[in-house]
Structure 1
Amino acid sequence: MSDPVLPPLREVIARHGLSASKALGQNFLFDEQLLDRIAAIPGSLQDRHVLEIGPGPGGLTRALLRAGANVTAIEMDRRCLPALAELEAAFPGKLRVIEGDALKIDPATLFEGPYHIVANLPYNVGTALFTGWLSGEAWPPQWASLTLMFQEEVARRIIAEPDTSAYGRLAVLAQWRSHAKLAMKVHRSAFTPPPKVMSAIVHVTPGAAPAGVSMRMLERVTEGAFGQRRKMLRQSLKGVPGALDVLEALGIDPQRRAETLSVAEFVAVAEALTRKK
């Protein structure tokens, strides 16, 4: 069965009087070839469940539907709902649109089985959503992969290696039990309106979780260590009970700074502290 013939996205936007909302962190993509490339990053989506956040007028949504996905889209901008309703009608039974705030909706309540998350995330909530999806104590998560567009600076922080200026809590959180890679750069000129910064797409898949490590403990350790990243660990971690003793037991020099510790070393510290509780 061939895909329905849709009017150009620019025409849909003009007909509904839509414009990107700065307050909602919106930037629209119109290039269908680019959108199809983004939808292909997770692999085959034929008959797979996909969660999209902030679809706006539905540019990426179209690409996901063309890829054969069953899409659930969460949109809080009521102006975009009529355009998305047209897509629902064009792809019967393949698109479900939920009006609401993605920060307040648990994706696990929307799907019975595994699903992928693919989204051109609104800049103002992207990091908060991402860390929320990574922070569950239960692992592996219900999501099978994350394919997310961020400002390039944020994307670099997610995949950063130790001893670099971009390395911090976000890198540790993304890498300690997941595999994160930079999948594609997207030039600012591809958007309407063009943002002031470049963008990039990060693809994340779950990995094996190290045994005996509490997510909350790891967050506490990294928050302390990177909260005062210019200070030595003996200073930045003194507020975490038992942390300095654990550093000594593991042979980690307390005069080091947070950005010099590998993800594995942070995990080892968190694991030891979890056992001491």
Structure 2
Amino acid sequence: MSAIDGLPPLREVIARHGLRARKALGQNFLLDLNLTARIARVPGDLSAASVLEVGPGPGGLTRALLAEGAGHVLAVEKDARCLPALAEIAAAWPGRLSVIEGDALEVDPTAHLSPPIHVVANLPYYVGTELLVRWLTPPSWPPFWASLTLMFQREVADRIVATPGTRAYGRLAVLAQWRTEARIALTLPPEAFTPPPKVHSAVVHLRPRARPVAEADAAVMERVVAAAFNQRRKMLRAALRGLGDAEALLADAGVAPTERAERLSVAQFAALARALTARG
């Protein structure tokens, strides 16, 4: 890919700018440009789209997105050390890359990008789950994004696509599958990164459903799901006590009080959320 964009290899960029990955920032740099190109192709044609990238680091995925034809990329980077390397990429692709130094939790991408907006990111491990939940639970639907293509630890990716009755099924699976269609697009070994993490990673691709599996208020849905899985080994009549009269709530939703969270479908969680809303 360096031959395509005329920029030096990533290892050289990292060495020249002193970009040793920082554990405190959850950084593991992906240096294999063949892999970054594969990730950039997951969302499909981005030539007429805007892309939000979180935690670009030295810019391996950024370069891939631009080389694969993304119309405009907004890179949000918290680590100021990475800004000179990203500035070099912006210079190589005039007008197609904008960089914001800041925390992705505090940046409103709609203030900087025009739809359709696709999110493509090798998310820092420390913030990945929180960002995903935020993107899945806005008050209104459909969301600002047209797709999410996100890298996580493989264990987290498995939890996003898990089905009821499996060990991995939990809060992330319910929230993701309630409003999106989610799949694992590819997996990556530790040695693809610098420094190598202790676990495999996976890229999850999520596309919003036109309508959720079942209607429910997003904030209430998140509250119900969190309560249910915080004590997943308990029957729901015990796990949901913090929400009020659990027995009555379950009866209203048509869910047996002896059920456990891991056995409920997404639609049943939405029924619980509607019942809780109705009870005020």
TM-score (norm. length: structure 1)? 0.95
**Equivalent residues, number:** 276
Asked whether the equivalents of residues 178 and 214 of structure 2 are also in contact (C-alpha less than 8 Å), the reply is no
The one-letter code matched in structure 2 to 1:253 is A
Aligned to 2:25: 24
2:191 corresponds to which of 186, 189, 192: 189
Q: Does 1:174 align with 2:176?
A: yes
Mapping for residues 118-267 of structure 1, pairs under 5 Å: 118-207=120-209, 208-209=211-212, 212-267=215-270
Asked whether the equivalents of residues 243 and 273 of structure 1 are also in contact (C-alpha less than 8 Å), the reply is no
Cα 1:189–1:4 change in 2 (3 A) is closer
Listed as ranges, the gaps of 5+ residues in structure 2 are none
Q: Secondary structure at the match of 1:183?
A: strand
Q: Distance in 1 between matches of 2:18 and 2:268?
A: 53
Q: Deviations over 1:65-103 (max 9, x none)?
A: 001111000001111110100001000000000000111
Asked whether the equivalents of residues 56 and 80 of structure 1 are also in contact (C-alpha less than 8 Å), the reply is yes
Q: Distance in 2 between matches of 1:150 and 1:45?
A: 22
Q: Distance in 2 between matches of 1:202 and 1:238?
A: 34
2:74 corresponds to which of 72, 75, 78: 72
Q: Does 1:55 align with 2:56?
A: yes
Q: Secondary structure at the match of 2:24?
A: coil
Q: Secondary structure at the match of 2:114?
A: coil
Q: Does 1:273 align with 2:279?
A: no
Following superposition, the deviation at residue 211 of structure 1 comes to 6.0
Q: Secondary structure at the match of 2:163?
A: coil
TM-score (norm. length: structure 2)? 0.94
User: Structure 1 runs of 4+ off > 3 angstroms?
Assistant: none
Q: Distance in 2 between matches of 1:3 and 1:47?
A: 20
Q: Distance in 1 between matches of 2:115 and 2:252?
A: 42
Following superposition, the deviation at residue 61 of structure 1 comes to 0.3
Listed as ranges, the gaps of 5+ residues in structure 1 are none
Q: Does 1:103 align with 2:140?
A: no
Q: Cα RMSD between the aligned structures?
A: 1.5
> How much identity, in percent, do the aligned residues show?
60
Following superposition, the deviation at residue 212 of structure 1 comes to 4.5
